[in-house]
A and B are shown apart, each in its own frame.
Chain A
Amino acid sequence: MQFIISRYNPQIDKIPYDQTFELDNTQISTDSMLLDALHLLREQDPSLAYRSSCQEGVCGSDGMNVNGRNRLSCITPLSDLPQKIVIKPMPGLPIIKDLIIDMELFYQQYQGVDPFLQSEPLDLQHEHLQSPEDRAKLDGSYECILCGCCTTSCPSFWWNPDQFAGPAALLAAHRFVIDSRDIQHVDRLKNLDSPTQIFRCRHIQNCTDACPKGLNPSRAIQELKSIMVKEI
C-alpha cells in the first residue's frame, strides 16, 4: 500500500513537500485503521509527526486531510481508502510540522462564543431540572470533540479565520442557545447577528460532510438563524 504524506520540518524546509511511503500488505489486516498504518510508518521514520491519543474517535486529536477529505485517522478504515492514499494536514491553519497544524485560532474562535452554561444563581442542594424533551434537544450538538475537521474544511473560515467563528464554534453556540437551563440566549444571539458571524455561513455544508461524529453544524447554524429571526 502506498502513502503520499505531506512533510514539513520548519527547521529544515522552506515549504512542505510530498514523501512517498510503502507498507507491505502483510503488515495490514482487513480491519486496520489509517492510524494503525501511520504508527507502522513511524517505525520506518520516527520523525513523522501527527497527533493522536485515544485511538477510538473521542479525543479529537488526529484530524487530517485524507484524499481531499478531513477525517480522524483512528476511525478511518484502510479498506475504505484507495490503494494510493494522499495525506495532508487539515487546510486553512498554519502548519507546525508534517500533519500537525496550529489550532490556536480555532480554539480562540470557540472561546469567543462563550461556550459555557450561564444560568440563574443555583443552590448546590438542588438539581437544576431539565425535562427529557429539553435534554434531547442537545443531542447532536454537545457531542462535538473539537477535532476541527469541520471548521478547517469551511471556505468561509478559510477566507476570514480571524473574524468568522466557523462551524465548530457555532455548533457550540447553538448548544447553549437551545439549552433550557441557559438564560443568556438573547445576548448570545445578538453577538452572533453580524455579517462576519452567523451570516458569513453560506451553507456550503463541507462541515457536515466532514464531521467524523456525524453531527450537522450546517443545520445547527440554520436553526440559529431561524431562532434569531423569531427572537430578535
Chain B
Amino acid sequence: MNLSDNFPIEFYDALVIGAGGAGMRCALKLTEQGHKVAMVSKVFPTRSHTVAAQGGINAALGNVTPDQWQWHMYDTIKGSDYLGDQDAIEFMCQEAAEIVRELEHFGVPFSRLESGKIYQRAFGGQSQNYGEEQAHRTCAAADRTGHAILHSLYQQNIRLGTTIYDEYYALDLLKTINGEIGGVLVMNIHDGAYKILQSSHTLLATGGAGQVFRNNTNASINTGDGLGMVLRAGLPLQDMEFWQFHPTGVAGKGMLISEAVRGEGGKLRNALGEAFMEKYAPHVKDLASRDVVSRAIAIEVKEGRGCGANKDYVLLDISHIPEEVITERLPGIRDISQTFLGIDPIKEPIPVFPTCHYMMGGIPTNIQGQVVSPDDLGEQKVVKGLYAIGECACVSVHGANRLGGNSLLDIIVFGRKAALTISEALHSHKPNRSNTDLNLQSIRQRLQRWQKRSETSAETSAQIDSVIQIKKSLQQIMDRGCGVFRDHQTMQQAFNDLQGIQLRLDNVCLTDFNDVFNLERLAGLELENLVAIAFATVTSALARTESRGAHSRVDFAERDDQAWLKHTLYFQEAHRLVYKAVNLHPKHHVAFEPKPRVY
C-alpha cells in the first residue's frame, strides 16, 4: 500500500488489543453486554502466552485449608514488598472466589478434590491467618491451568460470536484533535494492509515483554507492544524496574518449571545435596516468595555450590514424591523435562536457574482499568479513551514482586472490571461512530522509516546489521545489566550500551519488502517496543537506590520506606522520571503497614 493513501476506517464501540486471558475475558463481557467490539491479536487467540501458565489461579475458596480473602490480601501485599496498591489488591482478592467459580462455569476443567470441589495446591508466599501456616489457595487444572483457562475463554467467545481480528498487528494509538485516544492503526499480517479501527474506548491487553531479556520463560510474541504504543503516545510506564525472575527455569534454556513442583513438595538442592532454602527462609523454605528463592539460588551458584560441570545451576528434586502424584498433578512438567532435558523427574532431579518471567510494571491504571497519567500539578488524571489490563498494565496489584497464582487472577479480575467500566460509559454516552479527525502524522513517519532500503549491495548484505542481531545484543545487555542482582556500575553500563542499540535501530534496514507475512518488518516494529521498554527499565532501576522485591541492589541492599515507598513513572521524552504515592487505603480492611519481610 502507498503510505500516502487514506487508510480504510472501521468503527467499533470498543477495541480490545490482545487476545490472551485478559483480552478475551474483557471482550467476552463486552460482547455479552451487546456492544460492537473488535478483539485484535497478532496471533490466533489460543496462541497467546496465557496458554503457557502452569500452576494455577489464587482464590480463597478454602476447599483444602481454611481461608479468607483478607489473608490472601495480606500475603499479596507482603509479597509485593509493600509497593502494591492496597485498594487494588483488596479488590482483586475480594473478587477472586467468584471469578474462579465463573471460570469453572465457563467450562475450565479444574482438577478436583474427592468432594467434587476445585483442587487447590500450596504455592509460594501464601499463608493462613496473616502469616501463619501454609495456605492451599491456588486453583489448578493439573499443571496446565493457563491452557485450560485460555481455551475455555476462547470457546466462550465462539459461543457469543465475538469479532476477532486475528493475525492483525496493532501499531500505534491514534489521538483525536483533543488529545483523546480515538483508536488504533492495525496491519493485517496476511497482506500487509493497514486499517484504522476507530473507537472511543481502546483497551490494551497486550501482555508482557520478557523478550527484553535473553534468558526468559516468555513466548517470542511477548514484545510489549502495548507499552511501546503508550510511550510513543507520550504517556508514562510505571514501576518498570521490577521484573520477576522465576526461580525455576530450565537451566541454560529458560522454559518454565512451575512453582507447583515445589507446591507439591519439590525441594531445591545445591551441589552438596543440601536443601538450601532452609537457610534463607527457615519457616516456609522452598515456598518463600519468588524474589527470595531466586536470590537464594543466585547466591548458592555465586558461592560455588552450583551443580554441573560449570557449577551454574541447582537441582529441583521431586524424586521423593509418589509417582501417581506426579503423573496426575504435574504431567506437563514431566513432559517438558523429558522433551528438553531428556530427564524423567520421577527418577532424576531437574537442573534449574532463575529466568526472566514476568513484568510487575506496566501502563499505570486505576481499579476501573482506566489508564492514568499525572497532569502538570502531579495529579493522576484519567486518559480519555484508553484502558489497560493484565501484564501490560500496572494497577498495581503485584508491586515489587508478584505471588505465583496471582497473574491469572489479575487478568480475569481486571478483564471483567474494565469491560464493566467501558460498558457503563457506553450506556451513558452513545458511542460516536462518525469520522473524527485522527492524527496520523507520526505513524506515517514510523511506517515510512521501515521502507528505508540499504545502500549496500546485496553481496555484502550479510555483513551489515539486522533486526535479529540488534535484538540479540539488546537481550545480552539486559541480562548483564539488569538481572537478579544489580548495581550502579552495571546498570549505567547497560544504559550507555542501550544508546548504541538505539543508534543501530535507527539505521537498520530491512531486506524483505514484500507484504505477505513480512515477519522481518514485524520483528522491526516489535524491536522498537523492546528497546523503548529496556530504556524504561534501566532508567527506573538506576534511580531507585534501595532494594525492594525483585529489584535487588548490591550497592543499596536495604529497603528504604522513608525515601522509596513510591511508584516510579517513566516518560520516554528525555527519559524523565516522576513518582507517585503507593495507595495505603483499602476500602474495607485496615491498611497493612510496611514491616520487615521474612519468610
Please report whether the interface of chain A is mostly helix, strand, loop or mixed according to DSSP. Answer: loop
Interface contact A61-B514, CB-CB below 8 Å: no
Residue of B nearest to A146 (CB): B46
Do B98 and A124 have beta carbons less than 8 Å apart?
yes
By a CB distance below 8 angstroms, the chain A residues around B187 are none
Least CB separation from A49: chain B residue: B517
Q: Which residue of the partner chain, among B109, B335, B469, B517, contacts A142 with CB atoms under 8 Å?
A: B109
Give A10 to B191 CA distance when docked, in angstroms: 10
Are A52 and B511 interface neighbours, CB within 8 A? no
Instruction: Indicate which residue in A31, A54, A98, A131 contacts B219 across the interface (CB closer than 8 Å).
Output: A54
B511 & A60 in contact (Cβ 8 Å cutoff): no
**Chain A residue nearest in CB terms to B155:** A116
Name the residue of chain B whose CB is nearest to the CB of A141: B109
Cα–Cα distance between A11 and B515 once the two chains are bound (Å): 8
List residues of B (506-540) whose CB comes within 8 Å of A's CBs: 510-512, 514-520
CB of A135 within 8 A of CB of B109, answer yes
* A52 with B220, Cβ < 8 A, contacts A46-B466, A119-B105 known: yes
Given the known interface contacts A103-B44, A131-B112, A146-B46, the answer about A57 and B101 at a Cβ–Cβ threshold of 8 Å is no
| Closest Cβ neighbor of B217 among chain A residues | A56
Residues of A within 8 A of B144 (CB): 58, 143
Does B512 contact A46, Cβ atoms closer than 8 Å? Answer: yes
A225 at the binding interface (Cβ < 8 Å): no
Among A19-64, those with CB < 8 Å from B are 31, 42-43, 46-47, 49, 51-61
A138 with B109, Cβ < 8 A, contacts A56-B255, A60-B46 known: yes
Contacts of B141 in A (CB 8 A): 142
Judge whether A7 is part of the interface by a CB distance below 8 angstroms.
no
Residue B576 lies at the interface, judged by CB distance under 8 Å to chain A: no
Q: Does B330 contact A (CB under 8 A)?
A: no
A residues in contact with B107, CB < 8 Å: 116-117, 179, 181
Q: In the complex, what distance in Å separates the CA atom of A135 from the CA atom of B52?
A: 21
Check B117–A127 contact: CB distance below 8 A.
yes
For the complex, give the distance between the alpha carbons of A111 and B104 in Å: 20
B517–A97 touching, CB < 8 Å: yes
In the bound complex, residues from chain B placing their C-beta under 8 Å from that of A46 are 466-468, 510-512, 519-520
Interface centre among B43, B105, B110, B341, by most chain A C-beta atoms within 10 angstroms, is: B105
Query: Residues 141-153 of chain B: 1 if any A CB is under 8 Å from the residue's CB, otherwise 0?
Result: 1001001100110
B212-255: which residues lie under 8 A (CB-CB) from chain A? 219-221, 255
Given contacts A47-B514, A56-B255, A131-B116, contact A116 B159 (CB under 8 A): yes
A128 touches B220 (CB 8 A): no
Given contacts A49-B517, A132-B114, contact A54 B105 (CB under 8 A): no
Q: Assess whether A129 is interfacial by the CB under 8 Å rule.
A: yes
Q: Is B134 an interface residue (CB 8 A)?
A: no
Residues of chain A within 8 A (CB-CB) of B155 are: 115-117
Are B112 and A54 in contact (CB-based, < 8 A)?
no
Docked CA distance A74–B466 (Å): 23
Cβ of A9 within 8 Å of any chain B Cβ, yes or no, is yes
Q: Does A75 contact B (CB under 8 A)?
A: yes
A49–B147 CA distance with the chains assembled, in angstroms: 26
Q: B106 at the A/B interface (Cβ < 8 Å)?
A: yes
B101–A130 touching, CB < 8 Å? no
Cβ of B195 under 8 Å from chain A: no
* Contact of B102 with A by CB under 8 A: yes
Contacts of B514 in A (CB 8 A): 9, 11-12, 47
Q: Is the CB of A56 within 8 A of B510?
A: no
Q: Point out the residues of chain B lying under 8 angstroms from A154, CB to CB.
A: none
Interface centre among B112, B159, B255, by most chain A C-beta atoms within 10 angstroms, is B112
B80: shortest Cβ distance to chain A, in Å?
27
Q: Which of B51, B111, B158, B340 contacts A59 (CB 8 A)?
A: B51
Interface positions of B from 98 to 152, Cβ below 8 Å from A: 98, 101-102, 104-107, 109-118, 141, 144, 147-148, 151-152
Q: Are the CB atoms of B47 and A61 closer together than 8 Å?
A: yes
A residues within 8 Å of B by Cβ? 9-12, 31, 42-43, 46-47, 49, 51-61, 75, 96-98, 100, 103, 107, 111, 114-117, 119, 122, 124-132, 134-135, 138, 142-143, 145-146, 179, 181
Task: Given contact pairs A54-B47, A97-B517, enumerate 6 new A-B contacts (beta carbons under 8 Å).
Answer: A9-B514, A43-B469, A47-B511, A58-B147, A59-B43, A134-B112
Q: Mind listing 25 A-B residue pairs with CB under 8 Å?
A: A10-B516, A12-B514, A31-B340, A43-B468, A46-B466, A47-B520, A51-B47, A52-B220, A53-B43, A53-B221, A55-B219, A57-B335, A57-B339, A59-B46, A59-B48, A59-B49, A59-B52, A61-B47, A75-B339, A98-B517, A100-B517, A117-B152, A126-B101, A127-B118, A132-B113
> 5 tightest A-B contacts by CB?
A117-B107, A129-B116, A116-B155, A46-B520, A47-B512
